[in-house]
Each structure stands twice: as C-alpha cells, then as structure tokens.
C-alpha cells in the first residue's frame, strides 16, 4: 500500500504539472505595435500564451500591490530606472537567476540582485543649433550650467522622470554638492521657463529660442522619420552625445525594464519570456520602430541610429538612478527648477 500511495502521489504531481497553464501574464507600460508582434512570435515559438495588461507605470505598480499574493502578474515592464525603483520600494519584484540574461545584458543595465533587467536603452543627449555652438564634440552636461550658456538652454520641467534620472546620475558621478550647483546653473541659464515635451525643446532650438536642449535621442529620431515639417526641423539641429572625452563618463543612458514579480504564478515562463526578449533577433525587432538602442550588443541598430554614430555610454549601474531619485527631486526643488 505504501508503494501504491507513492505511485498515486507521483501521478497527481505529473497531472498537476501538466494542467498548469502554458501562459505568462505581462503588465506593461510600453505601448508599441512591435511589442504585440513579439508576443505573437513568442507564443508560436514556445506554445506559451501571452496575456497582456497595459497601463501607466505607477498605476500598474499600485494594481499589483492591491492584488497582493493573488496577483496574476508574472512580469512588470516599465520605462526608466526611476520608475522601476518604485516597484523595488513596493517590494513586488522577485530576484531571478539566468545565465542567458547575464551573458546578454551588461552588468550596468541590470539590477545587482537580479530584480530587473534592461531590455532596451535610451540616451539623454543634447540637441544643438550647430551654427551657434563651437566644438560640439567636446560638449558636456556640465558645460550647460556655466556662464557661457546664460540664456541659451531649453529643458523640460523637473517633474519629468527623464530629467530626474539625469540628475540622479550626476549625483552618483559628481556628488550632491556638485549636482546642486549644476541644477542651479541650469536654472540660471534657461532661455525660457520649462514647458512642453522633448520634441518641443527640439523645435525651440530650431526656432532660435535657445542654442541647446537636453532630450532623449529617440524624439529626434522620430522627427527625422516623420512628416516633412518635422523632418525639416530635425535636420536643422544636431544631436550631440555629451561627455565623450577620454576621461569623460559618457552619455547618460536609461532603459526600458522587465522584472519578474515576487509572487509570479508562472515564474519559469516569465524567465523564458525575458530571455526571449534579449536574443539578437528580438532585440532588433524590439527597438527598430521605437528608435531605442538594444541592450544586446550583437543586435543591429536601426538606420537612423546608425546615422547618429557610435558613442561612449556612462557605465554606472542604472540602479543608482532610482536610489538617487528622492535626492534628485529635492535638489531640483531647492534650485527653483519648475
């Protein structure tokens, strides 16, 4: 009877395993048509169905928190390391181990404890009026806060997460005191009060309102492939990757991020999906239409990004951007950055 009981228990375990749904539930703050195509291809390749819930990053984090241990969420996909830090603080992410992910993704673009992994990159670069800026190849973020740039800088508001993460990177690189001096210098050098999004800053440079603006690179890329008016504006300015000297830290890099939830009901499927997202083919597909850079160095850049040229990226671990976010906000407030 003992052996029969053991056999029966084994049968139950096998049947239970077989009855587990072949699915993965993704809560995503990314909204691109190419992502949908990737989900379809993943299902065809693995037989694992992708169930998608879309929303804003903060809303999805709050939803997962309210659902608690009964949440169906397996993966959270969000944009910007500052936002994924909020998920870390909420305690909803679980550490995973994957040799494949660790091999494909540089250590600077993944959480030190495996709580999340970058799946694409964006650069917070500088757009200039080339007629009014000498030696743009030597330009740094720090330069824009000097007296030479008085009344010449356009930038969006301090409540923008991209600017908060840039500030967080400056704290990490240069220290709190230097970061506060930089924020004060930027405020003093603004050509106008912060307004609009990144494309509005590009338009302001083109219109002569300012000589330089700090923007995410893909906004210029989108304008270069947009309608005739946007193309004309984009071609009148120049993208500069800052801090490129031999001793420079490189251009500030941020990421789109995926992390497995602590209580993920389909944990193994979630890891498989994340590994799938980082293969060479998926990376090219994931980044080609939205003009982001792949995290897998073997993947191909789209033609517009190839036109921007190679650049040196800041290699600090992007987890510092979330860690320093509260201090970044306090500094910007003290500097009077609206």
Residue pair 219/160 in contact by the 8 Å Cβ criterion: no
CB within 8 Å of 203: residues ≥ 6 apart: 233
Whole-prediction pTM: 0.88
Domains and CATH numbers, the chain: 2-121+254-301 (3.40.190.10), 122-251+320-335 (3.40.190.10)
Handedness of CA 84, 90, 93, 94 (dihedral sign): positive
Look at residue 20 in the predicted model and tell me its pLDDT.
Answer: 58
Q: How confident is the model at residue 36 (pLDDT cuts 50, 70, 90)?
A: confident
Question: pLDDT tens-digit profile of 86-125?
Answer: 999 999 999 999 999 999 999 999 999 999 999 999 999 9
Residue pair 105/117 in contact by the 8 Å Cβ criterion: yes
Question: pLDDT tens-digit profile of 262-321?
Answer: 999 999 999 999 999 999 989 988 888 889 999 999 999 999 999 999 999 999 999 999
In 39-99, where do the E strands start and end? 49-54, 75-79
Burial 26-38 (b: 16+ CB within 10 A, else e): bbbbbeeeebeeb
Distance of alpha carbon 218 from alpha carbon 337, whole angstroms: 24
Q: How confident is the model at residue 35 (pLDDT cuts 50, 70, 90)?
A: confident
Place of tokens 């959480």: 111
| Torsion angle defined by CA atoms of residues 180, 182, 185 and 189, in that order, rounded to the nearest 10 degrees | -130
């Amino acid at each position: 009877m003992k052996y029969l009981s053991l056999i029966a228990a084994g049968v139950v375990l096998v049947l239970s395993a077989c009855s587990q749904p072949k699915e993965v539930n993704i809560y995503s703050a990314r909204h691109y048509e190419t992502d949908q195509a990737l989900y379809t291809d993943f299902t065809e390749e693995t037989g694992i169905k992708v169930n998608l819930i879309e929303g804003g990053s903060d809303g999805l984090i709050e939803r997962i928190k309210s659902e608690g241990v009964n949440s169906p969420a397996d993966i959270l996909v969000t944009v910007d390391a500052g936002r994924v830090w909020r998920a870390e603080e909420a305690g909803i992410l679980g550490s995973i181990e994957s040799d494949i992910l660790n091999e494909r993704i540089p250590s600077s673009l993944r959480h030190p404890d495996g709580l999340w992994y970058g799946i694409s990159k964006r650069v917070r670069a500088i757009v200039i009026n080339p007629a009014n800026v000498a030696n743009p190849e030597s330009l740094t973020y720090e330069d824009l806060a000097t007296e030479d740039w008085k009344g010449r800088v356009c930038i969006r508001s301090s409540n923008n997460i991209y600017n908060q993460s840039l500030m967080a990177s400056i704290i990490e690189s240069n220290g709190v005191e230097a970061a506060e001096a930089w924020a004060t210098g930027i405020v003093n050098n603004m050509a106008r009060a912060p307004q609009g999004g990144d494309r509005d800053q590009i338009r302001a440079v083109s219109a002569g309102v300012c000589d330089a603006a700090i923007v995410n690179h893909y906004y210029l890329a989108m304008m270069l492939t947009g309608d005739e008016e946007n193309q004309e504006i984009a071609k009148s300015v120049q993208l500069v990757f800052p801090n490129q000297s031999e001793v420079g830290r490189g251009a500030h890099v941020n990421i789109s991020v995926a992390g497995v939830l602590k209580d993920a009901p389909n944990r193994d499927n979630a890891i498989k999906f994340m590994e799938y997202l980082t293969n060479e083919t998926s990376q090219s597909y994931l980044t080609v239409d939205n003009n982001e850079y792949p995290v897998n160095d073997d993947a191909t850049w789209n033609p517009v990004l190839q036109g921007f040229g190679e650049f040196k990226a800041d290699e600090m671990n992007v987890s510092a951007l979330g860690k320093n976010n509260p201090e970044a906000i306090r500094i910007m407030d003290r500097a009077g950055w609206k």
